[in-house]
Amino acid sequence: MSTVLPAGTPAPDFTLHVTPDQQLSLKELRGQPVVLVFYPADWSPVCGDQVGLYNELLSEFRKFNAEVLGISVDGAWCHDAFAHDRKLHFPLLADFEPKGAVAKSYGAYRQGDGVCERALFVIDKDGIIRWSYVSPVAVNPGADGILDALEKLSK
Amino acid sequence: MSKLRVPVTSEDHAQGPADAPVTLVEYGDYQCPHCGHAYPIVKQLQRRFGNKLRFVFRNFPLREVHPQAEEAAEAAEFAGAHGKFWEMHDAIFENQQSLGDRLFVQLAHALKLDPEALAKSLRAGEFAERVQADFAGGARSGVNGTPTFFINGQRHDADFELEMLTAAVNEALPQKSRAAER
C-alpha cells in the first residue's frame, strides 16, 4: 500500500525554500545523517504534536550528528510564523511550488488531500535512504523508529 | 507498536505492588493540560484495580512549549529524594494553574520540606540529569506526546479517558481478575 521509497534507495535531491528568501538543498548536507520529516500541515492544535515533539528531542538526534528537516506543502511565510510560534530549532522546508513535488519524488504525497503523508526517512551521510516509515495520518509516530535507525547507522 | 525500552526498577517512582500483574507507566509533563486531565483518571484507575495495578510516573517535560515543566519535574524529584515524591507530584497537578517559583516554595512548606534546600537544588539543577534520563528513555520508547502511557511495556495508542484505559488494563490482566468496565 505504501509507495514511500524503501531503504537502499538514493534519496532524491531537492532544493526548497527554508526561509522566504533562502533555499536549502539536500546535497548540502552530505557528510552527516539527515532525518526528513514529511507532515501534512503546520498549526495542528495539539501540545506535543509531532513537529513539536521532534523539536524537544533535537538533542537526542544531535547525538548522532543528524540534521532534521521538516517538509510540508505550506509556504515559507507560514513556516516562518509557525516556527516562531512553536520555538522550533530545526528548518521547515516549503514543498510549495510545484505543490508537493518533493513529497511525490519520495512517494510521500496524499493526492486526494493535497498534503504530504506523515512520512519519515533516515538518510545516511552518503545520501542513501536507510529507513523509511509512513504513519497513519492521524497518529504521531514518535521518535523511536528514527532513533533506532540513526543508532544502526552509527554502528 | 512501540515498546518501553527502559524497564521499571526500584529507582522508579511507583505506587502499587512490584509484582502487580499490570504496570502502567506514564510519561508526563507537569505543565501539560492533557496530563492534568489524566491525573484524576489515573487515580480512579488505581481505585478500580487496587493491588492488581502498579503505577509508575516518569518525566517527559516539553521544555520548549512549557517553560515551567522542567522546574516542576525537578521539584518533584527533589521531594522524592526526601520521601515525598507522590505528595509533590499530586500537589503540582492539583495546582497546575499556579505553576511557578512561588508555588514550589508554598508546596515545600506544606509538605514539610526545606524551601531553601529546594531552591538551592533547583538553581543547581541537581535533578536535571535524572529528568533528562527519563526523557531520553521515553524518546527511545516511542513517547509521542504527553501523557504517553505504557501498559505492561506496550504503548497505549487509544485515548486515555477512564473507559479506554480500564479496557486496556483489563485486557492485560488474566481473565478472572478483570474489573467491570462501565
Here the cell at position B61 is 517535560
CA distance A138 to A135: 8
Q: Which residue has the cell 478472572?
A: B176
CA distance A61 to A22: 24
Residues of B within 8 A of A49 (CB-CB) are: 145
Does the residue A6 lie in any domain?
no
Residue-range definition of the domain harbouring residue A137: 15-153
Does the residue A137 lie in any domain?
yes
CB A149 within 8 A of CB A60: no
Per-residue pLDDT tens digits for A24-81: 999 999 999 999 999 999 987 655 689 999 999 999 999 999 999 999 999 999 999 9
Numbered residues of chain B with Cβ closer than 8 Å to any chain A Cβ: 2, 5, 29, 32-34, 62-66, 135-136, 139-146, 148, 155, 157
Closest Cα in chain B, distance from residue A13 (Å):
29
* Low-confidence stretches of chain B (pLDDT beneath 70): 1, 180-182
CATH architecture of B13-177: 3-Layer(aba) Sandwich (3.40)
**Global pTM value:** 0.89
- Is the CB of A47 less than 8 angstroms away from the CB of B65? yes
Does the residue A72 lie in any domain?
yes
Residues of B within 8 A of A142 (CB-CB) are: 2, 139, 142-144, 148, 155
Does the residue A127 lie in any domain?
yes
> In which band, very low, low, confident or very high, does the pLDDT at A138 lie, cut at 50, 70 and 90?
confident
What residue in A sits closest to B158 (Cα-Cα)?
Answer: A139
CA distance B134 to B29: 11
ipTM of the complex in this document:
0.81
- Domain total for chain A? 1
Domain ranges of chain B: 13-177
**Nearest Cβ partner of A144 from B65, B140, B145?**
B140
Here the cell at position A17 is 525554500
**pLDDT attached to residue A33:** 98
Does the residue A91 lie in any domain?
yes
Q: For position A40, which CATH number holds?
A: 3.40.30.10
Per-residue pLDDT tens digits for B5-15: 999 999 999 99
